[in-house]
């Protein structure tokens, strides 16, 4: 009997004992940098001549690893291996499949500081954000194991005379997991193991900026003797194999988290049935995309609490979260006071190489953005913002002594029109836009004004306003009197509306059913 699920606890890196464990883990991981990594197809390690390099975005001279690049031919081989493995894996009992996840979760706990260190180096995430990412990945492993066992039990039906009726769930087939780079352990683990524990097989194509972290999970499952072909590791360029693995007639589902542009492309391509190539099903697409999330408050909100949480929501992991508070909507009566407090708090943020830990709040440990492409895009939006509104903080690259990296100052714009580009388009970086609202109606109108609908927060001391927010604010994850980031597995199932995706509710009790189909069996007695 498994104990009830509970989320992993965080640690305090200001504790000297904890800090020493992290420093030791960083030294261990740095001793492993620069290695060559293979593809894994049907259990075979395949090294290719064509490789790509993962680097530390906060110190671009530091090479994390060199990764074999999957070709079209090898992608075909991986899909074939996944389909072959499916023929036996689908019949493995749910309890046995779940044990792989439970043992992987325990192995991750044993290696938690090492896994955290890989993320610090490959992502430029600070220690606490990285630790939280690993903790969430462990939560996905633990929770989905329990869910698979629950869903494998006989489903209740209405009895009918002279018949034995049964309704149960079966798996779909071989599919593709396409995780993002911004939560490279948590989301990568979640979207990979959910199909596996429900009896499907997976070809995992990690995000190009974060393959080393994905490799750690692949290696753990190899150590646990997960059957060959159940999990295939195929890093490579989306431009070379992305369309192939989505279009393939033997691909049964695509599990994706990333940008709206890529997600909608997958949605369109996956809808085409390749009957001439033997496809006899409609593919499932599980798509979590972008957001333009809000932190909103009426005139009764506490200005000090609100300002602190605005800064945390906007600048945690340099704003590189689909849930980041990239819009701030303030009632006119508290606007000036909160703007002043936000400006003061942002001035205290320190940008630095996240391999070290600065005492104080995690948001003070502000690192780089992920790569040159993101760096250039964010800076271009900052220039747009300067034309659309008033620059309050930042607005330029940041310098870190002795390091070449993709650092950008935490940037705040005030007096932003609700329909400005920086208030409507996802920037995915350390930029937030503060908007003045004239009354409650205006707050709600502005909050619902984008094409997205992922997360949002509303602060008020008025019960009627909070109840109205429950009804009218159209986001998949709504937070009342708390910030719009930080969803926990099975506490706040996560997923959004509109162009934020298919509202998959990752970490919720509906999620595994996305990778299952119901089968009804009736026998006359």
HSE-up of residue 139 (Cα within 13 Å, Cβ side): 23
Conformational region of residue 229, where left means phi above 0, alpha means psi within -120 to 50, and beta covers everything else: left
Query: Closest by alpha carbon to 258, among 293, 289, 213?
Result: 289
Helix axes 463-472 and 440-447, enclosed angle (nearest 10): 30
pLDDT band at residue 499 under the 50/70/90 scheme: very high
Contact in structure between 314 and 430 (CB atoms under 8 Å): yes
Which pLDDT belongs to residue 364? 84
pLDDT digits (tens, 9 = 90+) for 113-136: 999 999 999 999 999 999 999 999
Contact in structure between 287 and 262 (CB atoms under 8 Å): no
Is it the case that residue 404 has pLDDT exceeding 90? yes
- β-pairing, 39-41 vs 44-46, is antiparallel
Is it the case that residue 362 has pLDDT exceeding 90? no
pLDDT band at residue 402 under the 50/70/90 scheme: confident
pLDDT digits (tens, 9 = 90+) for 3-33: 999 999 999 999 999 999 999 999 999 999 9
Which pLDDT belongs to residue 401? 85
Give the span between the Cα atoms of 321 and 111, in whole angstroms: 25
Which pLDDT belongs to residue 375? 98
pLDDT band at residue 363 under the 50/70/90 scheme: confident
pLDDT band at residue 1 under the 50/70/90 scheme: confident
Query: Closest by alpha carbon to 194, among 137, 274, 134, 268?
Result: 137
Q: Of all residues in the chain, what percent carry a pLDDT higher than 70?
A: 100
Q: Which CATH superfamily is domain 16-289+504-524 in?
A: Aldehyde Dehydrogenase; Chain A, domain 1 (3.40.605.10)
Query: Closest by alpha carbon to 292, among 261, 326, 315?
Result: 326
If one counts every other C-beta atom within 10 angstroms of the C-beta of residue 258, the result is 22
pLDDT band at residue 2 under the 50/70/90 scheme: very high
208 — phi, psi (to 5°)?
-55, -35
| 110 has catalytic annotation | no
pLDDT digits (tens, 9 = 90+) for 271-280: 999 999 999 9
Q: Of all residues in the chain, what percent carry a pLDDT higher than 90?
A: 98
Quickly tell me which residue has 């350390």 as its tokens: 430
Cα–chain center distance at 49:
31
Cα–chain center distance at 417:
29
If one counts every other C-beta atom within 10 angstroms of the C-beta of residue 103, the result is 18
Which of these is catalytic: 136, 288, 309, 440? 288
pLDDT digits (tens, 9 = 90+) for 76-100: 999 999 999 999 999 999 999 999 9
pLDDT digits (tens, 9 = 90+) for 275-299: 999 999 999 999 999 999 999 999 9
Is it the case that residue 139 has pLDDT exceeding 80? yes
| 288 has catalytic annotation | yes
Instruction: Delimit the domains of the chain by residue range.
Output: 16-289+504-524, 294-488
Q: What is the mean pLDDT of the chain?
A: 97
Residue 72 tokens, joined: 């079209």
Which of these is catalytic: 70, 108, 203, 322? 322
Q: Where would I find the beta strands (DSSP E) of 38-144?
A: 39-41, 44-46, 51-56, 59-68
Which pLDDT belongs to residue 361? 73
Q: DSSP of 357-425, one letter per residue?
A: --SS-GGGEE---S-HHHHHHHHHHHHHHHHHSEEEE--SB---TT-----B--EEEES--TTSHHHHS
Which pLDDT belongs to residue 358? 84
The mean per-residue pLDDT over the stretch 383-391 comes to 98
Torsion of CA 311, 316, 322, 326, to 10 degrees: 20
Which pLDDT belongs to residue 284? 98
Q: Where would I find the beta strands (DSSP E) of 281-374?
A: 284-288, 294-297, 327-331, 350-351, 365-366
Which of the listed CATH numbers 3.50.50.60, 3.40.309.10, 3.40.50.620, 3.40.710.10 matches domain 294-488? 3.40.309.10
């Amino acid at each position: 009997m498994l104990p009830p699920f509970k989320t992993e606890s965080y640690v305090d890196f200001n504790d000297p004992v904890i800090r020493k464990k992290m420093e030791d883990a960083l030294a261990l991981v740095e001793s492993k940098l620069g290695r060559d990594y293979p593809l894994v197809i049907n259990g075979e390690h395949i090294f290719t001549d064509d490789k790509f390099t993962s680097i530390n975005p906060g110190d671009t001279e530091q090479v994390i690893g060199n990764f074999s690049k999957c070709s079209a031919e090898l992608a075909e081989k991986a899909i074939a291996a996944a389909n072959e493995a499916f023929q036996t894996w689908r019949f493995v009992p749910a309890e046995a499949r779940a044990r792989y996840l439970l043992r992987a979760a325990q192995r991750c706990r044993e290696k938690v500081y090492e896994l955290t260190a890989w993320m610090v180096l490959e992502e430029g995430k600070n220690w606490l954000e990285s630790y939280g990412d690993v903790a969430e990945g462990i939560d996905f492993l633990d929770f989905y194991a329990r869910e698979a066992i629950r869903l494998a039990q006989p489903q209740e039906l209405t009895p009918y005379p002279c018949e034995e009726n049964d309704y149960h769930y079966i798996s779909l087939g071989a599919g593709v997991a396409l995780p993002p780079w911004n939560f490279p352990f948590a989301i990568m683990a979640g979207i990979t193991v959910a199909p596996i524990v429900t009896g499907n097989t997976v070809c995992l194509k990690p995000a190009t900026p974060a393959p080393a972290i994905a490799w750690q999970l692949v290696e753990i499952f190899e150590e646990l003797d997960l059957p060959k072909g159940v999990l295939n590791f195929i890093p490579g360029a989306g431009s070379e194999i992305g369309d192939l693995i989505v279009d393939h007639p033997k691909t049964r589902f695509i599990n994706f988290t990333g940008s709206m542009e890529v997600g909608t492309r997958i949605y369109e391509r996956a809808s085409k049935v390749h009957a001439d190539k033997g496809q006899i099903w409609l593919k499932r697409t599980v798509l979590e995309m972008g957001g333009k999330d809000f932190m909103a408050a009426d005139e009764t909100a506490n200005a000090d609490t609100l300002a602190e949480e605005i800064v945390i929501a906007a600048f945690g992991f340099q704003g590189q979260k689909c849930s980041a508070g990239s819009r701030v909507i303030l009632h006119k009566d508290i606007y000036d006071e909160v703007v002043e407090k936000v400006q003061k708090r942002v001035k205290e943020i320190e940008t630095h190489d996240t391999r070290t830990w600065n005492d104080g709040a995690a948001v003070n440990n502000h690192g780089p953005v992920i790569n040159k492409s993101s760096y250039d895009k964010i800076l271009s939006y900052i220039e747009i913002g300067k034309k659309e509104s008033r620059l309050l903080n930042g607005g330029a690259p940041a310098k870190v002594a002795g390091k070449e990296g993709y650092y950008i100052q935490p940037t705040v714009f005030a007096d932003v029109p609700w329909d400005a580009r920086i208030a409507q388009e996802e920037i995915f970086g350390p930029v937030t836009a503060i908007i003045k609202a004239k009354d409650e109606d205006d707050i709600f109108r502005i909050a619902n004004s984008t094409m997205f609908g992922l997360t949002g927060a509303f602060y008020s001391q008025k019960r009627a306003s909070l109840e109205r927010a429950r009804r009218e604010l159209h986001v998949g994850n709504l937070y009342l009197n708390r910030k719009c980031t930080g969803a926990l597995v099975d506490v706040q199932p996560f997923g959004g509306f509109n162009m934020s995706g298919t509202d998959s509710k990752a970490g919720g009790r509906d999620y595994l059913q996305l990778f299952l189909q119901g089968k009804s069996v009736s026998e006359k007695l």
